[in-house]
A = this chain, B = another copy of it.
Amino acid sequence: MTVRQENLVRVGKKPVMNYVVACVTLFNSGKDEIVLRARGQSINNAVDIVERLRKFQKNLQVRDISIGSEDITRPDGTRASISTIEIALRKE
């Protein structure tokens, strides 16, 4: 799936509600579709965000969920593989 940068929410270590608000703001600014992207330990947060967002955003639809992995280089120079998830959301 092609993801435009302005529709993308990268899920990190901030509180879940920060990302929920970011999603609501994107939808309110006229975006019909947004994508949540998370890696590693943040993957469960991405799912939490969608479930919380359902309460704030009517007619929310999960259009697609895909999983994968990325190769990363740790600060000490070693290489590792990290799991990723992308959740595409649509407002009807």
Interface residues of A (CB under 8 A from B): 40-44, 47-48, 50-51, 62, 65-69, 81, 83-85, 87
Apart from A43-B47, A62-B66, A65-B66: 10 A-B pairs, beta carbons within 8 A: A43-B43, A47-B67, A47-B83, A47-B84, A48-B83, A50-B67, A51-B67, A51-B68, A51-B81, A65-B67
How distant is A55 from chain B, measured CB to nearest CB, in Å? 10
Number of copies: 2
In the complex, A62 Cα to B85 Cα: how many Å? 13
| Chain B residue contacts of A44, Cβ below 8 A | 40-44, 83
In the complex, A50 Cα to B65 Cα: how many Å? 14
Closest to A38 in B: B44
| Chain B residue contacts of A68, Cβ below 8 A | 51
Of the listed residues A47, A50, A83, the one surrounded by the most CB atoms of chain B closer than 10 A to its CB is A47
How distant is A3 from chain B, measured CB to nearest CB, in Å? 17
